[in-house]
Amino acid sequence: MLRRRGVYLLPNAFTTACLFCGFYAIVMAMDGDFERSCIAIFVAMVMDSLDGRVARLTHTQSDFGAEYDSLADMVSFGAAPALIVYQWGLQPFGRWGWFAAFVYCAAAALRLARFNTNIDVVDKRFFQGMPSPAAAALLVGFVWLAYDNKFPLDEYYLRYVGWFIAVYAGIAMVSSVPFYSFKDIGRTRRVPVIVIFLLGIAMFVISSYPPLTLFSLFVVYGLSGYVLWAWNLTRGKRASDIVRKPPAP
């Protein structure tokens, strides 16, 4: 079914909030307030997860909304994290510093463009490559953790870790490695009560020390795609076989 042409207020309001968070993160990073800039990216992730769900629930999907969402994602999960990590610790590397930031930014743009063109042929249970919000969370999560712990930036290894994460996240986004999307949870079957209980515990753990728990969470997710890819490779399945939408019955 073709998406409607038009502009709808409610879902696009969430998209605008996501865009604002990305813009706010850039401004805060330029002012040297990396804690607020990193938190803004995580808030943008929440807004980004809501706009599509609101559009589906209210039957207000549109081509305009889909394009607007991609542009907002490029700012919030592409340009903003690249600038944050560069301002935080990559400037001393000179051209290699902005090279790593650009690799991440360009990969986010390519990832979003591929997502838009392959949306009808990719299995919704998986992402083809690491999704840009998760890549942004991985990158700014490290910056937030390092900044919150007041790690001394004169210790070279922190800058190198930030450089490596920026390049790794960029490569993961443009790869064909499958990452689980979690979109099928709770849609086709009832969720056990234990899952709700575990979610409550997870929220408590995250709130106890957000920088460490969020960064650890997205490190696990950032590696999970390669674990899934390697496991399926032993079964004779290529990455393209995993993410391809199954034929209609």
Give the end-to-end CA distance of the chain in Å, rounded to a whole number.
18
Compute CA 15 distance to the chain's CA centroid, rounded to the nearest angstrom: 15
Cβ atoms 219, 138 nearer than 8 A: yes
pLDDT score, position 245: 60
Question: What parts of the chain have a pLDDT lower than 70?
Answer: 1-7, 121, 150-155, 184-192, 195, 236-249
CATH architecture of 9-181+189-243: Up-down Bundle (1.20)
pLDDT score, position 2: 44
pLDDT score, position 242: 58
Q: What is the DSSP string of the chain?
A: -PPBPS--HHHHHHHHHHHHHHHHHHHHHHTT-HHHHHHHHHHHHHHHHHHHHHHHHTT--BHHHHHHHHHHHHIIIIIHHHHHHIIIIIGGGTHHHHHHHHHHHHHHHHHHHHHHHHTTTB-TTEEES--HHHHHHHHHHHHHHHHHTT--TTSHHHHHHHHHHHHHHHHHHHS--EEE--TTTTTSSPPPHHHHHHHHHHHHHHHHSHHHHHHHHHHHHHHHHHHHHHHHHHTT--HHHHHBPPPP-
pLDDT score, position 205: 76
The burial of 52, by beta-carbon neighbours within 10 Å (0-12 exposed, 13-18 middle, 19 or more buried), is given as middle
Q: Quick one: residue 155, left, alpha or beta (phi over 0 = left, psi -120 to 50 = alpha)?
A: beta
The burial of 208, by beta-carbon neighbours within 10 Å (0-12 exposed, 13-18 middle, 19 or more buried), is given as exposed
- Beta bridge partner(s), residue 120: none
